[in-house]
Amino acid sequence: MAISYEEFRSAIHDGARRRSLLFRDGQPFFVLLSQQFSRAELEALCDTATAIRRLDRHRDGREFLLAILRGHRVMNLFAQPSTRTAQSFIAGADKLGATSTLVSDIQTSSFAKGESIADSVRTLSSFFDAIVVRHPDDEFATQAAWALHNSNRPVPVISAGSGKSQHVTQALLDFYTLRYSFYERGGVDGKRLVIVGDIARNRAARSLALVLTKFRPASIHFISPVDFAPDDELTGYLRRHEIEVELSDNLEAWLRERGREADAIYMTRLQREWDSGGAAGQPNHRATKSELGADDAYVLRPDYRLLVREDCVIMHPLPRINELPSEWEDHPGFVVWRQVRNGMWIRAALFATINGAAGEIRARAQRLQLL
Amino acid sequence: MAISYEEFRSAIHDGARRRSLLFRDGQPFFVLLSQQFSRAELEALCDTATAIRRLDRHRDGREFLLAILRGHRVMNLFAQPSTRTAQSFIAGADKLGATSTLVSDIQTSSFAKGESIADSVRTLSSFFDAIVVRHPDDEFATQAAWALHNSNRPVPVISAGSGKSQHVTQALLDFYTLRYSFYERGGVDGKRLVIVGDIARNRAARSLALVLTKFRPASIHFISPVDFAPDDELTGYLRRHEIEVELSDNLEAWLRERGREADAIYMTRLQREWDSGGAAGQPNHRATKSELGADDAYVLRPDYRLLVREDCVIMHPLPRINELPSEWEDHPGFVVWRQVRNGMWIRAALFATINGAAGEIRARAQRLQLL
Amino acid sequence: MAISYEEFRSAIHDGARRRSLLFRDGQPFFVLLSQQFSRAELEALCDTATAIRRLDRHRDGREFLLAILRGHRVMNLFAQPSTRTAQSFIAGADKLGATSTLVSDIQTSSFAKGESIADSVRTLSSFFDAIVVRHPDDEFATQAAWALHNSNRPVPVISAGSGKSQHVTQALLDFYTLRYSFYERGGVDGKRLVIVGDIARNRAARSLALVLTKFRPASIHFISPVDFAPDDELTGYLRRHEIEVELSDNLEAWLRERGREADAIYMTRLQREWDSGGAAGQPNHRATKSELGADDAYVLRPDYRLLVREDCVIMHPLPRINELPSEWEDHPGFVVWRQVRNGMWIRAALFATINGAAGEIRARAQRLQLL
């Protein structure tokens, strides 16, 4: 039963073997990778989120939801502070009546006394029914899942952003927002999506792209400084999934020429605070703090509104600096605040799904003609 | 609909225009200023607090209260640590069945990445039904309210102490304690109140004085070091509201001469840790940490008990150093611990009022003959 | 009614006078000392823990438990960070429907403004129905209890580890685990227990030994470096309670010669990070951080499995470094993870007992034939 970490890690990164470790009884148990869900599972998850959102509007529905995970305890183990992500998980669990705890001091606790990660995770997990994990180390969530896989009291693990590579639940909320926005236009299949900004280092944009491979968008167009373009691993993966991939580095030129093609524009922040050299067209340039967000080339200027359709969906994972000015807020396709709320609903849906309660929730919503 | 911050700010500081922004459907929505409530509203709030306090004593009443805000989520956004104020709000919300979260790391979160206050408040508020705000900046609570006023999902904002100017809920709990203490003696109208200590920089004392303008106390006598006396803005405001204002700087002399006039003595801490010069009678004196609380001139010495009436109410907002010695604890008018508990009850009453549940609570208490 | 701290402190350390201060209405009110419970009380507490554990397995039992302390509020005042102990208390309270708050910033709060411990504890306790206290100072929990004893709104105080001397609830969970492990072999009476490691400075081992004096174990054998052996106060106390005490400093030799005598081996960490000199056989040796956990002489090596019985109970309070290798995890007597869970159950049982609900819980479990 006990397997080594290396075996566990290599198995979950292998599409064929992944499922036996990450799912139990047909439900996700460890949520570690954006690409671990099937198309049908993603659609069911979105429907569950919508059911929860609509049930929550009425007193009866709210009471029904609050009983779903009553007595259930969730630990949010955040080694890296992320107030909004943590609060979104806590709110999602709360909607279903679960109790959440935020533990953010693991750095200073028993690790310092020489305890192993496995012991520490297993000890803390003893008091909970599920754990949500955020850590600067890409491997931490996987190590936590491995430690629990090998224990005699495993509990589900959900990654809330692991290192620089994955941000599964951000991808799920972004996908949910896209799907919802395109609901009366046939979903994301056939749509042309534009992702703007720092793709290379942005977990949200990368993770969303991985989820989209389960669907049939017509194309994903990345517009970014040359140095922050998606790597070959990502573009290759998308192309193998028959998604047309285009790259360019001039937002204005592209919008003037082809802006009306865009079904959705997903803006991201140029994370200049991390820069150690290299901005578009200025190789070896070393950015300073004062330049944070200063590059107008990747700002969706208010005057660009004339260049995109009124039904183009405008998204941003937040926080933003200047790349998506407030003048866009009354554009009909501006769904940024909906994204934030959707984060709470999709996380609630994930908790419900993991605990096998999603079917019951959707059935209740259907009976009340909310779905 | 969207108004500029300058407009918003100037409107709420204008008695005539304030109400349209701070109240919705006749209920307070943004609680930012001690002077925003009418006399009738303050009385109703106190009655609601009493109803909650008495209902909470019995199992049935407790169950009734726990259902009032069930499923309701409150964020306590404390940029400035204040354990007791935060815990008082959390306890108050808890009494009505609401869930609270304390967020205290906003300094280190997305603000540092260049996000605006408006975006940050609006993002976090997405997961909540009300927010309580404490911040060292006088303007922060107002900015938060403005950001939410302009959003399409506004939630109530309650200031929990904003900069050096206002501490609304402290004023409400102090007023509630006074009103309750004078309940069988006709309320605060006609009473002579004495406020001792550092008035200039003490939010609690100033805020209480602002609330008292909605009533008819006979006089407020401020006894403080000359340099820490109330400013002309405050004394002018009180006089315009027909409250007799007196100032002096010698506590012992005043008590010996007129101590038996006092209906209530409100002690405050000389906040010597902030001093950068000037104590009573010693101009240009620079206080050091070691002198913290050392000035006997503004201590209510145990032997002064002979100088005040037995029915004189003795208050203090806490924490205290040496200015209200423990020998006073068995004085019949000593209500300092009641003040602390009242903070919880009045905050619960405020949550109930904001959510339109105050009438139902008072009605239940009346039916059970608790009010 | 008000007594001085010195009186209070000396009374609770006097076996004859202790009870009148620490118990109210026959229930523990202040839980400060491992030795404060009688044999019958310890047995009832363990039965309550078992009842809660078994009721929690089924939906009906869980609902029954969640109503026990509904509306009850617990403050966890942790001046010293201890994530796992705090989470164990919070989980235990949660199982009974109580609400918990973790307050860990008391160092930076009003204490810094010159407030007394008594004022601070009393103010914070105003919002709660019970407080759990952890502090590096041996006296803090006792001071908190004294402050509340003298107030007109006393609430129960539970020590969660006070200084270097006591860790009552760790002792209770360890005792509960031992009792449960020996359930079908007549309990701890007559058993031979071995405690290995740093006894002198380990609160857990010392506290467990104090609890065991209420029973009749045949012997306690301490195996430790000479410099970390139990002091005469502890060994004298055990001998006065007719427990045979043996000391030695060679784990391997003892196991080879008498290992099959052991009914339970309680391993502890050599807390080398505190060392300022002196390891076994190497007087005046000054340990460095790099030696943390390095002393093989007090490691329960995997090959020692042949030297102990299969029914020997293997315990550790965690965190561990290298002294209890993972190869032991499949030994039939390895109960370390059960200890962690038992911490939650025994703390829930303690909350129930303090609130007079233990009898009701045990009766329910008996009716359902769970006890």
CATH of region C5-167+341-358, choose from 3.40.50.300, 3.40.50.2000, 3.40.50.1370, 3.40.50.2020: 3.40.50.1370
CATH superfamily of C169-340: Aspartate/ornithine carbamoyltransferase (3.40.50.1370)
**With contacts defined as CB-CB under 8 Å, which chain B residues touch C126?**
337, 340-341, 344
Range in A274-278, B57-61, C103-107, C255-259 with the lowest mean pLDDT: A274-278
Question: What's the gap in Å between the CA of C205 and the closest CA on chain A?
Answer: 18
ipTM score assigned to the predicted complex:
0.92
Radius of gyration of chain A (CA): 21
pLDDT above 60 (res B219): yes
Chain B residue nearest residue A274, CA to CA:
B113
**Inter-chain contact B321–C114, Cβ cutoff 8 Å?**
yes
Is the pTM of the predicted complex or chain greater than 0.90? yes
pLDDT value of residue B323: 95
**Inter-chain contact C110–B340, Cβ cutoff 8 Å?**
no
pLDDT above 80 (res C111): no
Range C218-230 average pLDDT: 95
Is A4 near chain C, with CB under 8 Å?
no
What is the distance of C-alpha B144 from the center of its chain?
A: 19
pLDDT tens, A32-61? 999 999 999 999 999 999 999 999 999 999
**Inter-chain contact C91–A127, Cβ cutoff 8 Å?**
yes
pLDDT tens, B164-210? 778 999 999 999 999 999 999 999 999 999 999 999 888 888 899 99
Question: What's the gap in Å between the CA of A317 and the closest CA on chain C?
Answer: 31
pLDDT band at C11 (very low <50, low <70, confident <90, very high): very high
> What percentage of chain C exceeds 70 in pLDDT?
91
| Domains A5-167+342-359 and A168-340 are alike in CATH topology | yes
Is A107 near chain C, with CB under 8 Å?
no
What is d(CA B34, CA B52) in angstroms, rounded to the nearest whole number?
A: 22
pLDDT tens, B23-60? 999 999 999 999 999 999 999 999 999 999 999 999 99
pLDDT above 90 (res C273): no
Chain B residue nearest residue C114, CA to CA:
B321
CA distances to B84, B239, C122, C133 from C119, in Å: 12, 36, 5, 15
What is d(CA A248, CA A221) in angstroms, rounded to the nearest whole number?
A: 8
pLDDT band at B112 (very low <50, low <70, confident <90, very high): low
Chain A residue nearest residue C347, CA to CA:
A127
pLDDT above 60 (res A287): no
Residue holding tokens 């998980």?
A: A89
pLDDT above 90 (res A279): no
pLDDT value of residue A114: 80
Chain B residue nearest residue C152, CA to CA:
B337
Residues A153-175 as b/e (b if ≥16 CB within 10 A, e otherwise) read ebbbbbbbbbbeebbbbbbbbbb
**Inter-chain contact C81–A127, Cβ cutoff 8 Å?**
no
Is C1 near chain B, with CB under 8 Å?
no
pLDDT tens, C203-223? 888 899 999 999 999 999 999
pLDDT value of residue C285: 41
pLDDT above 70 (res C94): yes
CA distances to A66, A70, B271, C250 from A93, in Å: 9, 10, 43, 52
**Structural contact between residues C212 and C203, judged by C-beta atoms closer than 8 angstroms:** no
Give chain C's mean pLDDT: 91
pLDDT above 50 (res C40): yes
Q: Which CATH class is domain A168-340?
A: alpha beta
pLDDT tens, B295-318? 789 999 999 999 999 999 999 999
**With contacts defined as CB-CB under 8 Å, which chain C residues touch B83?**
103, 105-106, 109-110, 124
**With contacts defined as CB-CB under 8 Å, which chain C residues touch B90?**
101, 127
Residue holding tokens 């996380």?
A: A347
Is A72 near chain C, with CB under 8 Å?
no
**With contacts defined as CB-CB under 8 Å, which chain C residues touch A68?**
none
Question: Which residues partner with C246 through β-bridges?
Answer: C221
Domain ranges of chain B: 5-31+69-166, 169-340
More confident call, A137 vs C6: C6
**With contacts defined as CB-CB under 8 Å, which chain B residues touch A94?**
73, 99
**Inter-chain contact C110–B319, Cβ cutoff 8 Å?**
yes
pLDDT value of residue A285: 41
pLDDT above 70 (res A1): no
CA distances to A31, A92, A189, A221 from A179, in Å: 21, 20, 9, 18
pLDDT above 90 (res B346): yes
C 123-152: CB under 8 A from B: 123-124, 126-128, 151-152
* Cβ-nearest to B320 among C75, C115, C152: C115
Question: What's B231's DSSP letter?
Answer: P
What is d(CA C266, CA C270) in angstroms, rounded to the nearest whole number?
A: 13
Pair of tokens at residue A124: 């803390």
B-interface mutation test, from C69, C76, C123, C153, most B Cβ less than 10 A away? C123
pLDDT above 50 (res C274): no
More confident call, C12 vs A203: C12
pLDDT band at C286 (very low <50, low <70, confident <90, very high): very low
**Inter-chain contact B120–A319, Cβ cutoff 8 Å?**
yes
CA distances to A98, A288, C12, C122 from C22, in Å: 35, 62, 7, 18
Range A351-355 average pLDDT: 98
Chain C residue nearest residue B274, CA to CA:
C113
CATH topology assigned to domain A5-167+342-359: Rossmann fold (3.40.50)
> What percentage of chain A exceeds 90 in pLDDT?
82
**With contacts defined as CB-CB under 8 Å, which chain C residues touch B319?**
110, 113-115, 119-120, 123
**With contacts defined as CB-CB under 8 Å, which chain C residues touch A109?**
81-84
pLDDT value of residue A329: 95
pLDDT value of residue C88: 98
CATH of region B5-31+69-166, choose from 3.30.70.2860, 3.40.50.1370, 3.40.640.10, 3.50.50.60: 3.40.50.1370
The closest alpha carbon to C133, from C92, C96, C89, belongs to: C89
Question: What's the gap in Å between the CA of C141 and the closest CA on chain B?
Answer: 19
pLDDT tens, A128-163? 999 999 998 889 999 999 999 999 999 999 999 887
pLDDT band at C1 (very low <50, low <70, confident <90, very high): low
